[in-house]
Amino acid sequence: MHEDAKREVEKFDLCQVHGPWPFYQWGMDILGPLPPARGGAKFVIVAIDYFTKWIKAKPLVKITCKEVIHFAMDNIIFRFGLPRVIVTDNGAQLANRLVERANRSLMEGIKTRLGREKAGWVDELPNVLWAHRTSIKQSNEETPFSLTYSSEAFILAEIGIPTYRTLMIREGYN
């Protein structure tokens, strides 16, 4: 009976794209091969938290078990704690919808920023990740940044131009 219930829940769309709380469930995938970039990187390992939609990504020269383990340890476990679940697709394409959607978003962002210059994708990856992390997501009407840090990120325009938020900062209390 328990297995039947588990199979039914796995079919339900919302269960495939939402975690019960932050950093409980992560999805991981590898993008590539991409055009060779600075340092010889041709792949990107991508992880996304199912609850906050926070994406971590790292360029890779080659795909090895050691690289994947280091990525998971440094970018998920040591930063956010041990997740209950890490979902991978074991190499099957389109097996993890949330991560595949994140991959598409990253690639579209890189293409938009680079145009025809494809070799610079490694340099643009942090900018695309920032844009993703500070954009409101339809699924929860929040930004991944705000769900992760319980605060909205300051954007560059707010640093030089006074906004209500920057005017309300009380230096002695921060």
CATH of the domain at 67: 3.30.420.10
Number of folded domains in the chain? Answer: 1
Find, among 38, 42, 57, 47, the residue nearest to 19 by Cα. 47
First CA to last CA across the chain, in angstroms? 53
Percentage of the chain with pLDDT > 70? 74
Contacts of 19 (CB under 8 A, 6+ apart): 25, 49, 50, 51, 85
List pLDDT tens digits, range 14-64.
Answer: 444 456 789 999 999 999 999 999 899 999 999 999 999 999 999 999 999
Provide DSSP, 103-129.
HHHHHHHHHHHHTT--TTHHHHHHHHH
pTM, whole model, 2 decimals? 0.76
Could you list the residue range(s) of the whole structural domain that residue 115 is in? 2-173
- Per-range mean pLDDT, top range of 87-91, 104-108, 166-170: 104-108
d(CA 167, CA 160): 11
Report yes or no: 149 and 142 within 8 Å, Cβ to Cβ.
no
d(CA 19, CA 85): 9
